[in-house]
DNA sequence: TAGCCATATATTGTCGACATTAAATAAGCA
DNA sequence: TGCTTATTTAATGTCGACAATATATGGCTA
């Protein structure tokens, strides 16, 4: 995979991206059935294109498909969210460790600068940048690991599910300044090439996020 | 995904399994090109079926596909092997942690019995069971995590790549008795519900395997 | 001769029609 | 009436043909 949405060359690519967007953002409701015929008329492509798109979505765990029956958008559940964050903790923890090992000094400097600019914006009350900043940060760490498996599983797969939970359960969340502090600490550990600390801090960071979201799920 | 090869109902399923088997076992050489027409005649199915199979293989990272160009079997490289084991360390470490949390007492007892039988066989010199036993053990841990993402990424994805490296680089490896001791320690930690230790031991176990294979790659 | 451009060829991408399967419905029997 | 079974229906699975794209070939110009 690892297809960047910018140079989506084939028609199936574009349809895949559109479908994924609509699922993540709830335009197509979670748990609903995906009819190939219906979608092929709606998105104005042949069934073969829709089928390929659905197959790709299935490998991202955004839809589940049964042979001779059809595909459904995944249902969002507390258990699903917990499982998602368990895997994030493992993978992004390792990503932080590898980023501390493999990122170049320039990449680290860039990431620090990015963090500064994000912090300024959040400090000034631009809450819009909050999630975008979070996403940017995690992307840098993951790509900084230089590990193709980590990159594809997280960026092409899990992150879309994470966004789906965020969007549809409406948790842009507070935890802004504290999260930024945690980001800062992680980057410092990476700059110091302290793999052990980088992994530990990233795992804690994700655990805190999970706890925060769980609290919202239960009390809100 | 999570399609068990036993009840592969559709034709695309069967073709997918056959193709995957031939790639993992080197019948189709690593790095070679996959022609849709050629394969459709060879496996006696239509191109659509082959295309779907190839798409699925691409998400398993067993083949790489380029738009309008075609698909190639992945090339085996030392870097690829290292990246693979980095992800295994993270995911299986977490799997061991979750197994210590979620496996039932019965499941743990079963796993201990399995380990006993495997140990007896290996002790008696049945080297055939060595890899099978290793595979069995790791499967139990992963499924014991009760985490669908872990299960699918590892069992449907990475393990086939691992097997591809093992088969094609011919590393059934020694490390038999030591590996079984490590397995025993991990199971003990799980039986004691010691999540921390279970994860640490599993990570070490996989690190040792990686170092062992790396040594072979360099010196052999 | 070397490099570039146009053509030719072969492969992948896309489509609509047919085959097959699962579910929904209706009929038959106890 | 209630359940089982046959039929219908509507979806997915599969196929072969056509369109679009990339590579290979050949010719032209400097």
pLDDT in tens, A189-208: 999 999 999 999 999 999 99
Binned at pLDDT 50, 70 and 90, residue A172 comes out as low
CB A182 within 8 A of CB A201: yes
Judged on CB neighbours under 10 Å (0-12, 13-18, 19+), B48 is: middle
Helix axis angle, B128-144 relative to B105-123, nearest 10°? 170
- Cβ distance of B1 and A59 shorter than 8 Å: yes
- 3-state helix, strand and coil shares in percent for chain A, rounded to the nearest 5: 70, 5, 25
Over residues B183-197, mean pLDDT: 97
Over residues A20-29, mean pLDDT: 97
Q: How many residues does chain A have?
A: 220
- Cβ distance of A91 and B86 shorter than 8 Å: no
- pLDDT score of A5: 47
List the nucleotides on chain C closer than 7 A to a protein CB. Answer: 11-17, 20-23
The 10 Å Cβ neighbour count of residue A9 is 11
CB A196 within 8 A of CB A99: no
Measured distance CA(A205)–CA(A77) in Å, rounded: 22
Lowest-confidence range among B105-119, B178-192, B204-218?
B204-218
Q: Helix and strand tally (H, E) in chain B? A: 10, 3
Is pLDDT of B208 > 60? yes
pTM: 0.93
- pLDDT score of A98: 98
Over residues A101-106, mean pLDDT: 98
First-to-last C-alpha distance (Å) of chain A: 37
Indicate the average pLDDT of chain B.
Answer: 90
Q: What is the dihedral of CA A100, A105, A111, A115, to 10 degrees?
A: 100
Per-residue tokens: A116: 């500064």
**In a mutagenesis test of the B interface, which of A87, A164, A199, A203 is the best target, namely the one with the most B β-carbons within 10 Å?**
A87
- Cβ distance of A147 and B61 shorter than 8 Å: no
Measured distance CA(A31)–CA(A77) in Å, rounded: 11
Sign of the CA dihedral A62, A216, A136, A108? negative
Binned at pLDDT 50, 70 and 90, residue B71 comes out as very high
The 10 Å Cβ neighbour count of residue B107 is 15
Q: Which of B21, B73, B68, B17 is nearest to B45 (CA)?
A: B17
């Amino acid at each position: 995979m690892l297809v960047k949405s910018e140079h989506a060359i084939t028609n199936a690519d574009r349809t895949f991206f559109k479908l994924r967007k609509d699922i993540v953002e709830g335009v197509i409701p979670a748990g609903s059935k995906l009819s190939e015929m219906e979608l092929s008329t709606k998105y104005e492509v042949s069934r073969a294109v829709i089928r390929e798109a659905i197959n790709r979505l299935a490998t991202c765990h955004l839809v589940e498909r049964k042979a001779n029956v059809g595909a459904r958008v995944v249902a969002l559940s507390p258990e699903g969210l917990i499982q998602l964050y368990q895997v994030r903790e493992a993978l992004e923890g390792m990503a932080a460790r590898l980023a501390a090992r493999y990122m170049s000094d320039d990449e680290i400097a860039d990431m620090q600068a990015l963090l500064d600019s994000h912090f300024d914006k959040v400090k000034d009350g631009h809450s819009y940048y909050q999630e975008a900043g979070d996403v940017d940060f995690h992307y840098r760490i993951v790509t900084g690991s230089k590990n193709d498996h980590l990159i594809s599983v997280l960026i092409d797969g899990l992150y879309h599910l994470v966004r789906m939970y965020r969007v549809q359960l409406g948790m842009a969340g507070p935890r802004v300044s504290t999260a930024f502090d945690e980001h800062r600490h992680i980057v410092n550990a990476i700059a110091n090439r302290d793999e052990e600390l980088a992994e530990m801090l990233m795992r804690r960071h994700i655990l805190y996020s999970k706890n925060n979201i769980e609290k919202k799920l239960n009390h809100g």
